[in-house]
């Protein structure tokens, strides 16, 4: 579930408890990235995933008490090399991995596949949102991505 930084001012502890019966895998970025330090002081029984709060390895250490998962997007990290280094360091710190994307063609999504093959959650749906993808694009069927 992606909150897109929109849950400021809500009673998050109560909300997290209300959401428990719905078997939600994780909640992505509930608070704005410049105001997410509150997450370290409240119970969150559903794992939280950092998205806008994370760009490169520099941010990892401050996120440890706030999030259990990070969303790696090649567009944010600066490319595949940094994404792979980010994944390695994040795993060493105990984070689970999500691989996400910005709007883009299958070419951009294919670049993320080396990280996606090891991620717990993969959200490489950028081409689905386009009017037209490349001719030999990825195929999406029943929640699965096919080459």
| In the chain, domain spans | 12-146
Residue 91 near residue 74, CB atoms below 8 Å: no
CA–CA gap between residue 32 and residue 99 (Å, rounded): 20
Residue 144: band (very low, low, confident or very high) from pLDDT cuts 50, 70, 90: confident
Number of C-beta neighbours around residue 41 at 10 A: 9
CA–CA gap between residue 32 and residue 29 (Å, rounded): 7
User: 104-113 pLDDT, tens per residue?
Assistant: 999 999 999 9
- DSSP letters of 26-62? -EE--S-GGG-GGGGGS--SS-EEESTT-SSGGGHHH
Residue 140: band (very low, low, confident or very high) from pLDDT cuts 50, 70, 90: confident
Please give the average per-residue pLDDT across 18-38, as a whole number: 96
Lookup: tokens for 104: 């883009």
CA–CA gap between residue 13 and residue 120 (Å, rounded): 25
**Model pLDDT, residue 97:** 99
Residues 54, 61, 113, 143, CA torsion sign: negative
User: 56-82 pLDDT, tens per residue?
Assistant: 999 999 999 999 999 999 999 999 999
- Neighbouring residues of 15: CB distance < 8 A, sequence distance ≥ 6: 7
0.75 cut: is pTM over it?
Answer: yes
Identify the architecture of domain 12-146 in CATH: Alpha-Beta Barrel (3.20)
User: 76-100 pLDDT, tens per residue?
Assistant: 999 999 999 999 999 999 999 999 9
Residue 27 near residue 49, CB atoms below 8 Å: yes
């Amino acid at each position: 579930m992606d909150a897109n930084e929109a849950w400021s001012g809500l009673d998050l502890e109560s909300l997290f408890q209300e959401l428990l019966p719905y078997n939600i895998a994780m909640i992505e970025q509930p608070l704005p990235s410049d105001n997410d330090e509150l997450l370290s002081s409240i119970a969150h029984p559903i794992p939280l995933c950092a998205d806008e709060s994370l760009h490169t390895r520099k941010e990892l250490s401050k996120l440890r008490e706030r999030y259990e998962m990070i969303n790696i997007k090649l567009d944010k990290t600066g490319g595949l090399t940094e994404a792979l280094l980010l994944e390695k360091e994040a795993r060493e710190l105990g984070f689970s991995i999500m691989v996400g994307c910005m709007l883009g063609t299958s070419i951009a999504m294919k670049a993320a596949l080396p990280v996606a093959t090891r991620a717990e959650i993969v959200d490489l749906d950028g081409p689905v949102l386009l009017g037209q993808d490349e001719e030999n694009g990825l195929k999406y069927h029943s929640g699965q991505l096919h080459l």
